Structure 1
Amino acid sequence: MIITKTLSLKAIYEFTGHQLFWLTGWMTLVTLLYYFTGWKILAFPSLPLPLIGTAVAFYVGFKNNQSYDRLWESRKIWGEITNTSRILASTVKNYHSGEPNAKNRKAVRRQIVFRHIAYLYQLREQLLEPAEWEHVSPTRSWLVGHKNWERRAYLNGRFKAELDSISMEKYLPEQELLSLECRTNKATHLLDTQAGVIQRLFDGKVINMIQQIELQGSISSLHSHQGRLERIKQSPFPRKYATYSFLFVCIFIFFLPFGMIGEFRNWGQAGIWLSIPVGTIIGWIFVAMEMIGDYSENPFEGLHNDIPMLAICRGIEIDMLEMIGEKNIPSPIEAKGQTLL
């Protein structure tokens, strides 16, 4: 996630700057063809292009709104996971049955918190698995997919120290780690284990029935939150919306230099050359809008537009460890440059 108030010129160029080269080339090619041939068919009247541009702008704007909804919903769900995690840690620590001979089982309570932290990092890892429709295509068979893999690797490299410090081994016993290896959905299995441990606390009269229901309610909420995140991850933005938006922008860019020439030729022969910079800027604006929406569709790619899951997980980890009185508390994740992972 980019956290600065405004993007630097370098960041803007890295994201959309390369589009200026082919846009300038296309505008220049059509302008040169008209200038040296004088073919009037290359000069469009002023009405068609604004109509196409208005229609494309409405469509791209609609797509961008829907893309942002996916991004914002993902962030809200992670906020709910944060709240549920804090509730779980507080209740696990403080709930006691009140039975005269009930044991405290402090080690079991501590392990529940540890297992939950392992669950958070496991969930993050599962959400970052690349899907076929995402920009980090698992096949890497196309140019953009390969470039985005490089971007993801570069971003992970900047947070290498923080990522290397994450290890479920310090939170899960070896036996549990081995049992996870054969599981398809490891995060779900960890929640199921938590539910079993809470049930055993009730069977041992460490907690009473009402407390057990509340603790199991937290586990159920986490199942629900995880399912909603998986829905966003596993359900691509409708491909027709995405594909036609890209196609419409391409059509508009194709006709743009012809419309620019038709307008600027009224300024004389010298005015025709103004169609190149003006058309390039207009085309770049439409391409940038399309790319912003396109990269907002998938909030779990490991790229700059993602939800900062690593920082969120670390924040939850710190809160839960402090609640149970642990001394070895990790440091919060700090932004690198303009990005928080």
Structure 2
Amino acid sequence: MIVSRNLSFQQVLFYAWKSLLYFSTLSIAVYFLHYELAIPNLTVPFEAVALLSTALAIFLGFKNNNAYDRWWEARKIWGMLVNYSRAWGREVLTLGIDESGKPSEELAQWQRRLIYRHIAFVHALRVFLRQRRAYNKYQDEFFETSNTYDDIRPFLTTDEAEEVLAKDNPPNYLLMIQGRELQEAYQRGWLSDYRFVKLSQTLTEFNNHQGMSERIKNTPLPRAYSYYSRIFVFLHGTLVPFAFVDFLGVFNIPLAMLINFIFLSLDQIGERTEDPFENRPGDTPLTSISVTIEGNLKEMLGETDMPEKPAMIKGIVL
């Protein structure tokens, strides 16, 4: 997630340089043909381009509003995951009670397993949502971070990790193992009926968080918006130099570039916002949120070996 108020010009050029090269070449060519070769009728009515600009701005605004709604919903889902993760840690540590009333090492180990397994679930869900994206060279340069299921191994036994990683949906399978552990604790008398149901309800919330995240991941913004926005920006940008060349002469070139850059930026903002789980610079910071949950739960266990929070890279939180 980009938190810096200033964007790196290198980031902007990475996504826009091909289009900007086309628009600049076209503007120069239009000026040369109109003034150097004196080709007549090399203009289009300014009013037509202005009308197209207005329609395109409305279209891009609608697309960007919907793209932002998807990004913000993703952030709210993971914000709720933070809240319920803390609740899970508290419930596991306070609702599990040995009938003897004495401190039980076995119960303490059970509590630690459930909390550690939940940390594994959070990291597994992060990887599950991001794993289907191929990194590009620009991202590899700035985002040398781990995004593999090996991140869950420190929180599981070797056999359990191998069992989980053999499944198509590791985070969902981890929740099923958690349910089994709750059932065993109920049978041993560590959980009453009410406490068992309460913990099961919290597990269901984790299912809901995963399901809502998968809905955003697997259901993109209708492709027509992305396709036609690119076409419309391209057509508009192609017509702009022809609308001003007769009035501005050589100054048509920088003005056409400025107008096209604005509309191209609006289109790219929507493109980079609509899919918040792709591990791109502007996406939801799943790594940072996962590490926050891990640190909170370890602190609740009384541990001092806290995870290191990912450093901000060029104004970007991962």
Q: TM-score range by the shorter chain?
A: over 0.9
CA offset at residue 123 of structure 1?
A: 0.6
CA contact (8 A) 1:44 1:261 kept: no
Please say if residues 64 and 293 of structure 1, whose CA atoms lie closer than 8 Å, have aligned partners that are also in contact.
yes
Report whether the alignment pairs 1:151 with 2:114.
no
8 Å Cα contact 1:31-1:261 kept in structure 2: yes
Match of 2:217 in 1: 233
Q: Residue 129 of structure 1 corresponds to which residue in structure 2?
A: 131
Query: 1:205, 1:47 → 2: CA distance?
Result: 79
The answer to whether the 8 A contact 1:84-1:218 is kept is yes
**TM-score w.r.t. structure 2 length?**
0.93
2:272 counterpart of 1:287: no
| Match in the other structure for 2:245 | 261
Q: Is the 8 A contact 1:102 1:206 kept in 2?
A: no
RMSD of Structure 2 on Structure 1 (CA): 2.1
Q: How many residues align?
A: 316
Paired position in structure 1 for 2:284? 307
1:10-159 equivalent positions in 2, closer than 5 A? 10-16=10-16, 19-97=19-97, 99-100=99-100, 104=104, 105-130=107-132, 136=133, 149-157=136-144, 159=145
Superposition TM-score, scaled by structure 1 size: 0.87
| Residue identity matched to 2:70 | R
State which of 139, 157, 178 in structure 2 corresponds to 1:194: 178
The equivalent of 1:325 in structure 2 is 302
Match of 1:145 in 2: none
What amino acid maps onto 1:223 in structure 2?
A: N
Q: Shift of residue 164 of structure 1?
A: 9.1
Question: Residues 102-144 of structure 1: CA distance to partner in whole angstroms, max 9, x if unpaired?
Answer: 87411011000110111111111111122xxxxx5x5xxxxxx
- Equivalent pair of 1:318/1:330 in contact (CA under 8 Å): yes
Deviates more, 1:203-212 or 1:223-232: 203-212
Distance 1:328 1:45 in 2: 68
Deviations 1:67-108 (A, max 9, x none): 111111101000010001000001101114473468741101
- Aligned 8 A contact 2:64 2:269 in 1: yes
Q: Describe the shift of the 1:6–1:150 C-alpha distance in structure 2 as closer, same or farther (beyond 3 A).
A: same
Measured in 2, the distance between the counterparts of 1:208 and 1:62 equals: 52
Going from structure 1 to structure 2, the CA distance change for 1:168 and 1:45 (only over 3 Å counts) comes to closer
Could you tell me which runs of 5 or more consecutive residues in structure 2 were left unpaired when the two chains were aligned: none
- Kindly indicate whether the alpha-carbon contact (under 8 Å) linking 1:89 and 1:113 is maintained by their aligned counterparts in 2: yes
Task: Name structure 1 gaps, 5 residues minimum.
Answer: 131-135, 139-147, 265-270
Distance in 2 of aligned mates of 1:171 and 1:98: 24
1:296 deviates by: 0.9
The one-character-per-residue Cα deviations of 1:289-312 (angstroms, maximum 9, x if unpaired) are: 111111111111121011111110
1:175-186 matched pairs, under 5 angstroms: 175-186=159-170
Partner residue of 1:221?
A: 205
- How far the C-alpha of 1:165 sits from its partner, in A, is 12
Is the 8 Å Cα contact of residues 56 and 248 (structure 1) preserved in structure 2? yes
> Partners of 1:318 and 1:337 in 2: how far apart?
24
Structure 2 residue identity aligned to 1:169: R
* Greater Cα shift, 234-243 or 37-46: 37-46
* Cα distance, 1:166 vs structure 2: 6.6
Separation in 2, partners of 1:334, 1:198: 37
In structure 1, give the amino acid aligned to 2:200: Q
The one-letter code sitting in structure 2 at the alignment partner of 1:121 is H
| Larger displacement relative to structure 2 (16-25 or 117-126) | 16-25
Q: 1:175 to 1:103 in 2, by over 3 A?
A: farther
Q: Equivalents in 2 of 1:164, 1:77: separation in Å? A: 22
Tell me the distance in 2 between the aligned counterparts of 1:331 and 1:213: 35
**Other structure's SS at 2:136 match:** helix
Q: Percent identity?
A: 28
Query: Secondary structure of 1:42's match?
Result: coil
